[in-house]
């Protein structure tokens, strides 16, 4: 599908060792009006070479690539002035330690290979915009680990700036609900839910829903 002239095209490099999956994913992503796969590679090393040569907006790679150490691949991708946003795909059961290591290394989006093309495209767009994206199974892993940790002391009192309704929205957000699900749960419009989320991010001084949810869980607000 041709892109509108006003649409900014997100340029992507894909690395995965399964030819059918990699080529098929590239073809499907190329059908999105704002996405284009400019190159793909069968290994992380080859993918990183393409990243350095082509300077894409997003580098999408499989953590299941043989010999892959996620922190090393991410560090390699983020080296340089025009570093891409990094999206990770996992075809196997992901451990909390692996997900955490990836996020701490700088991964912007993390999802399973069973995700739909719409989900992968959404993750790429979020990452390219500097936001975070976790698929529901990965979010469950992350939040479960956070809930196992002891609550933090509320040192900055940021949560005290939230209204009672915003606290309700924050609790639902920390369960992985999107705006439509929050709206349904609270019998409000999706637009109103979106406004509440925006206000929460501003008051907590965090850039993403993921960090807002993390704040809620670590401060015993969820």
Return the ∠ at Cα 203 (arms to 199 and 207), rounded to 5°: 80
Average confidence (pLDDT) over 131-159? 68
pTM for the whole thing? Answer: 0.69
Tokens for 65, please give them. Answer: 């690539």
pLDDT of 100 > 80? The answer is no
pLDDT of 34 > 80? The answer is yes
For residues 4-36, one letter each, b for 16 or more C-beta atoms within 10 angstroms of the residue's C-beta and e for the rest, the string is eeeeeebbbbbbbbeeeebeebbebbeebeebb
Band (pLDDT 50/70/90 cuts) for residue 126 is confident
151: which DSSP letter? P
Average confidence (pLDDT) over 23-49? 96
> Among 17-26, 62-71, 155-164, which is the least confidently predicted range?
155-164
- CATH 1.10.10.10 occupies which residues in the chain? 151-218
Residues β-bridged to residue 40? 14
pLDDT of 41 > 80? The answer is yes
Alpha-carbon distance of 180 to 189, in angstroms, equals 8
Return the ∠ at Cα 37 (arms to 51 and 34), rounded to 5°: 120
What is the pLDDT at residue 12? 98
Class (C level, CATH) for 151-218? mainly alpha
Tokens for 34, please give them. Answer: 């704002």
> Domain spanning 10-144 has what CATH number?
3.40.50.2300
Q: Give the mean pLDDT of the chain.
A: 85
- CATH 3.40.50.2300 occupies which residues in the chain? 10-144
Alpha-carbon distance of 215 to 17, in angstroms, equals 37
Kindly state the percentage of the chain with pLDDT values over 90.
Answer: 46
Alpha-carbon distance of 201 to 62, in angstroms, equals 30
Query: Terminus-to-terminus CA distance in the chain, angstroms?
Result: 42
Average confidence (pLDDT) over 11-27? 96
- C-alpha torsion angle, residues 118, 105, 66, 97 (rounded to 10): -90
> Of 198 and 205, which is predicted with more confidence?
198
């Amino acid at each position: 599908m041709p892109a509108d002239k006003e649409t900014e095209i997100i340029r992507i490099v894909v690395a995965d060792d399964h030819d059918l999956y990699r080529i098929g994913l590239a073809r499907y992503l190329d059908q999105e009006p704002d996405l284009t796969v400019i190159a793909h590679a069968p290994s992380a090393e080859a993918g990183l070479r393409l990243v350095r040569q082509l300077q894409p907006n997003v580098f999408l790679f499989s953590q299941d690539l043989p010999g892959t150490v996620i922190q090393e691949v991410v560090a390699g991708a983020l080296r340089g002035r025009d570093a891409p946003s990094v999206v990770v795909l996992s075809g196997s059961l992901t451990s909390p330690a692996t997900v955490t290591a990836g996020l701490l290394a700088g991964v912007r989006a993390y999802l399973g290979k069973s995700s739909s093309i719409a989900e992968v495209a959404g993750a790429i767009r979020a990452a390219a915009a500097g936001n975070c994206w976790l698929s529901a199974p990965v979010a469950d892993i992350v939040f479960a680990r956070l809930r196992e940790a002891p609550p933090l002391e509320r040192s900055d009192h940021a949560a005290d700036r939230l209204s009672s309704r915003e606290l309700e929205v924050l609790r639902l957000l920390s369960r992985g609900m999107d705006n439509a699900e929050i709206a349904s749960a609270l019998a409000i419009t999706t637009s109103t839910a979106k406004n509440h989320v925006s206000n929460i991010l501003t008051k907590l001084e965090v850039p993403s829903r993921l960090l807002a949810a993390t704040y809620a869980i670590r401060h015993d607000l969820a």
